[in-house]
Structure 1
Amino acid sequence: MASRPATLGRFELRRMLGKGAQATVWLAHDPRLEREVAVKLMRPGADTETVGHFLQEARSVSRLTHPHIVPVFEADVHEQQPYLVFEYVAGPTLAESLRAKGAMPARDAVEMMLGVLDALTAAHAAGVIHRDLKPSNILVDGEGRARVMDFGIAASVNAQHVQQVVGTPGYMSPEATHGLKPAPAMDLFSAALVLAEMLCGRQLLIEKDPFRAMYRVAHEDMVWPKDAAGDADDALRAIVMRSLARDPAQRHADVAAFRKALQEWLVPAGADAPAAGQAAPSSSGTLEFLLRRMRHKSDFPAMSDSVVRIQRVANSETESLASLSSEILKDVALTNKLLRLVNTAHYTQSGGGSISTVSRAVALIGFAGIRNIALSLVLLEHMHDKGHANQLKEEFLRSLMAGSLANELLPGSKEGEEAFIGAMFQNLGRLLTEFYFPDEARQVRKLTGTKGVGGSTMGEHAASISVLGLSFEELGLGIAKAWGFPESLQRCMRRPVGDFPTRPCDKADRMRWIALAANEVTDAMMQAEPGRASSAIAAVAQRYARVLEISPRDMQAAALLAQQRLAGLAQAMSLSVQPGSPVRRLLEQPGGNGTAKTIVDDADSLSGHELQATIAIDVTQPAEKPFDQDAAAAMLGAGIQDITNTMVEDFKLNDVLRMILETMLRALGFRRIVFCLRDPKTEMLTGRFGMGDDVDSACKQFKVALKPAPGTAPDLFSAVCLKGADTLISDATVPNIAARLPAWYRQQVNAPAFLLLPLLMKGAPFALIYADKAQPGGIQLGERELSLLRTLRNQAVMAFKQSR
C-alpha cells in the first residue's frame, strides 16, 4: 500500500483513487470550502519536464469551463511537492466501466460521446488540444455523464512547435506518431477510437509493443472487427470510420462536424414526436428523444444544472449550511426571490422577525425547506418570455398548491418536506411538456375526455402516451432521475395504482397516497362551482380517510392553510391571476370568501391593454440601479438584526461569520470579501474563506505578517492590522499607496480599491475582513455605512468570544 501524508497543506488526504507512471490521485477533504476534492500528486523526484507537464495541465484546464470537463480548482507546491486540486467526480473511468460491462448499447455510447465531443469543442475553441484522449481519461459520473480529464500533455495550437511524439500508443493519430504540430484532428481521431471501443467492447488496435502500435496506426487503415460485439449499424460504423481515416483531410472537418453526424444518426432529419393515434415507440426510447429535444432548448441545461447543484448540496451528508448558501448566492435572481419568499407570513410565523441573509434562511428553515423553495423558483425562473405564459402559470400554481397541501397534511414532520416535492412533482411531466412541447400539450388536452375505442373516455394518462409515446408521469420520473432526485422522492412522485388499502400503510406508501390525495383535492377545488369547494374537498377526503387516517374536517383545514400559503407565495413571486382561470379558485377560501383576492384586485380594476400587461408572468429582475446608500444602510441594518437574533440562540461560529460576510457583500456590492485568521505558528493572518469572484484563489494569497522582519517597515496591511485601524483605500494605484502594498498582494490580488477591517481581542489583532471592488473609487462609504460595517465587525469579535 502506498504511503501518504495525512495532510497536504490544508487538504486532508483520505484514500488513493488511482496512480500512474508520474503521479497519484487522492480523494481529499478541503476543510476551508467543506467539500471533497481530488488531489493529484507528482511522484517524488520528478524531472523538470514532468513538472512542466504538470503545470501545463493546470494552465490548460484553468482556461476551460465546461460541464463535461473536470475543472482544476488550484495548483500549488507544498514542501517541494507539486500538486493539482480537481473537482472530485464520484464514478468509474470509462475504461473501468467497459472492462466491467463490455460493449455499450449504440445509442448510449453515442449519447455519452456527444458530451466528450462538446468538451473537445470547447477546448479547441480555447486553443487547447488534449493529445491524450482515451477511456482512462474519461470519468463517468453518477448521472452517466462523461467528464474529460488529464490535460497533462495538452498543447496550444499557437505554441511554438518542437517535433515530439506524445500520447498513448493505441489511441494516437497517425500524425501524432510522427510528432507533427498539435492539431484538433488529432483529438478527433482519438475520439473516434474511443467511440469504436465503446461500441465494440474492445480496442480496435491491440498491441503489447507500443512501437508496433504506433507503426500500425501510421501505416495501416483501421478495420472494424468482424467479431465485434454491440449493436452498431452500418450507418454508425461509417460515421466512426470516416474519422479514423489516416489522412486528416479525409476525416470529418472538425469535432463539431463529427458530433453533428452522430446527432443526425440519433435523430434523423424530419424525425418528430409521434402523432396522436400512431404507434408509440418504447417509453425509454421516447424519453431519450424528448430529453434530446429539451437539451436543445436554451432553458433546459441551465434549469437542469441549477436543480442538480441544489439537489447535490441539500442531499449530501457532508455538505454544510455554508455550502448550500454559497450555491444559492451564485444566482442573484434566486437569492432575491428566496429572501422575498422566506419573509412571507408562512415562514416568518415559524421563525419570527425579518430574514435578510440566505445563511439565516437556511439555518431557520432547514436544508429540505430551502431546497423545496429553490426548486420551485428554478422552475418558475425559466418560464418568462413564453407565448403560452398563462397556461404555464396555471400549471405551476396548481402544482405548488398540491405540494403545499401535502406538506400541511404532515404538519411539523420532516416527511412533509418530501411530500411537498412528491406532490408538486407528480405534475413535473405535464409542466415540462407544457413548457417545452406546447403543441403536444395542446394535443393531450384535446384528446383528454374524448371517446376512445369501445366508447370509453380517454384519460390524461392514455392521451399523453398517445401523443408523446410515454405518460406524463414517466417523463417526469425520467427528468427526476436525470436531476439526481433520491429514490425516496422518485417513489413519492409515482402515483399509486390499484384499490385503496383497507388499512393504514407503511411510511413510503403513505407518502405516495398523500401526494395523490393532495393533487386530487387541488383538482376538485379548481373544478368546484362557486361556494362548493368545501363539499368537493370533503368528498375526496372521504375516499382517503382510511388509508391516510385524515378526517374530511382535517383535510378542509389543511386546504385552507395551503391556500393561505399559496397566496403568500404567489404574491412574493409576483404571480397575478387571470380572471376566469380555474386556478383563481385556489386563491380563495373554501366557500368562496376570497382570502387571496388582493392578488388580483388591481387586475380587476384595469381593462384592455393594461389588463393584458398585468396578467403576464413577471419573473424578470429590474435593471441594476446606481449605488443607493439608503438601501445599503437598510440592508446592513437588517443583517445586523438578523445576526443578533442568531447569536441569541445556539450558533456555529462559521455560520455567523458567513452571515456577516454575506451582508457586507450584498449590501455594498463588493467584488469579493475574504476573512483572514491568525495562524499561531507563523504569526500571520491567512485567508480562510470568503465570497465573491475568484475568492478561492484570493484566499490562498493572503499572508499578512503580524511580526515584520527586524529592520523592515511593516507594509500597509501589517500596519493597519497592528494599529487596529479601519482603512479604506479608494485608489491603490496612487504611487505612495502602491509602494506600501505587500509584494504578494501586488502580484496576485492587486485590486484598485479595497477595505480593511481588523478584528482585535485584548488589543491584539487576530483576524481581518478584506473587501474589494474592481474600479478605483468604487467603494463609497459615508459615516453611516462605515458605522454599520464596524458593528458587523464587532459582531464577529463577539461571536469569537462567545464561542470560546
Structure 2
Amino acid sequence: MSETSPVASPLRTFGRFELRALLSKSARSLIWRVFDARHGQELMLCMPREKPNSAPALEHWLRMAQAGERVHHPNLAPVFEIGQVENWPYVAYDRALGETLDERLARQNAPLPLDAAGWVCQLLEGLAFAHEAGHAHRDLQTANLVIDANDKVRLIGIEVAQEVFPATVDFTAVTRRAVRESAEEDVLCVGLLLNRILSGKPVLEERDLQHVVQQMQPIGRELVRLGWETPHPIPDPLRAICNRATDRQLRQRYHLARSFLRALDGWRQAAAYDNGGPVVLLLDKLQRIGHLPTTTTGMHRFTGGAGMEAQHASALSQLVLKDMALTLELVRRVNNALRQSGHAGETILNMQRAIQMLGLDGVQLAANSLKPWPGPLQPVAAEMLSQVMARTTKAATIAQALRPAGYDGEVVHLITVMQNLGRLLLQYHFPDDAQQIRQLMQPPEPTEDQANPPSLSEQAAAYAVLGCDLDALGAAVARHWGLGDELLQMIRRQPLDGPVHTPRNDADTLRLTCSLANELLEALALPEAKRRPGVEAVTRRYAKPLGLGLREVMEALNPGAHRPGQAPAPAAAPAAAPGSLRNRLAGRS
C-alpha cells in the first residue's frame, strides 16, 4: 500500500475501501479517511506503519486488537470492524464519531485552556480505563482524539501500534512489553498533547509525538516545558500540571493516567465552579469521617462532676488546645452557634470563651463526635499526620512568642493552626496525594547542565497533584464551617513571592505574625547548612513590618536560651478599644 498525501487521487483503494485522505502518519501507525462502498459510509482506518512480518505475527496482532475491542468506555471509540487486506491489518471506526483533534485545531487553533483541559480529561478517562483493563495505545497522536460537535472526546487506535517481533519468534514464549511501561509512555504523550493544545504549536516543532519522546531527557537532551508565549494566559496551576507531565526527571512525571486526571480535573472543576474538584471530595469526607481524629481519651474525667468553676476554665482550655481535632471542633461549633443566634459578624477564637459558651456538656458532645486516633489511617500515614500536627503546634508556639503585646495567645495559636488547616486535612484525608507533593518538593537529581536543580515549591507541587493549592483547601473548609470573612483573610499565609507590607490593622498583624512563624518553622526544616541563612532571610522579610529583629526571633525559636534558668516575662496587655478585632476574636465585649 503506497503512502499518499491528503491531496492524492481519490481513486486509490485498499481492499473494498476508497482511500480519500491520509489523516495521520507517524513512526508507528497510519490513519486513513476512507469510503466503504459496502456500507455506504465514511470510516477511519487505523493500521500499523509496518506490516506484521509473519502469519503468527498477524494472528497475534488480530488477537490483541480484538481483545482491545472488548474494552468498552464512553471515551473509547467503539470499533466498527477489525480486518486485513493482503496481510495489512486494520481497525475501522465510524467517521460520524467526529473530527480528529488535528482537524479541530486546524479550524480552531486556540481553544480556551478550560476547553483544552476538558478534552484531555476525557482522553485520560478512557485511557485510564484501557490501561486498567491491561491494554495500551503506544502511539498517541493528535489524530487519535476524535471530537464531536458537543465536545465529546473518544480515543481511537488502542492496540494498533503493537510490538514488532522477528518473523521467527514464538509468540507463546515471548512476553509482551510490560503494559505498565507502555502505559507510562501513553501518559507522557498525553502531557505532550496538552502542551501542544495550550501552546498552539507542535512540541519541539515535531508533529510525531514519538519523535518528541525520543528527543526528550533522559533519552535525548531536550527539555519540554510550556512556553510563556501562548494564545491565552495559562493559569499557574494548569502550567504546573502540564510541566509536571513532561518533566525531564522520570520520577517527577505522572506515572498513571488516573493521577494525571486527578490533578487536571481538580483544576478544571475548581476553575469552572466555586467549590469544585478536590474541595468537593474533601467536604464529602468531612461529612463522613470528620476533619481530624482526636488524640484525647477520657475527656469526661475533666468535664464530669458538679460543674467547672471559673478558675478551672484556663486549665481545661490548655487541655483542649493539645488536641487539634477537638480544638477545631469547638471552634466550628461555637461559631456555628453564634451564626444561628444572629451574630454572624462575630468570630470566637479564644478557647476559654468557647468552652464557657458551649458548656461542659457541649465540650463532651464535641469530644464524643470525633473519631479516635488514627481514624482510617494506616500506621505510616498516621505517623506522617502526627508529624504535621507536631510541626503545626510548634509553629503556633513560635507565633505566640512573637505576637505583639495585647494580642490573645490562644487567638494567635488558633490562627496559626488554621493557616495549616489545608495541610492537616490533606494528610488525613488524602495521604497518598500528600506523599506525592512531598516527593515533588524534593530536589531533582543533578545533571551536567544543572548542578543544583531547583525543586518545586509546595504551591507548585500541590497544583501538579491536586489542581489547587493547600491554602484554598483550608479556606474552603473554613468557609464551609461558616467562619467570618476576617478570619478567612487571616488564615491565608503571606505569599512567599510577595513583599511584606506594614500591617494596616489587627487582622494584618495577626496574619503576618502567624505567617512569620510558619515560615520560620519551614526554614528550620532545611538542611543544617541552610538553616541559619534561611531563618535570617525570613526575619529580614518581616523585620520592618512587624518591628522584630533576629534577637526576638532566636528567643522565640529557643525560649530561655539567652537567659538560662529564666523564663521570659509575659508582656503586659494594654487595654484594647471596645469592639476591636482582638477583643471580638477573644470573645470579650
- Normalising by structure 2, we get a TM-score of 0.37
> Which is bigger in relative contact order (C-alpha 8 A, separation at least 6)?
2
Structure 1 length-normalised TM? 0.28
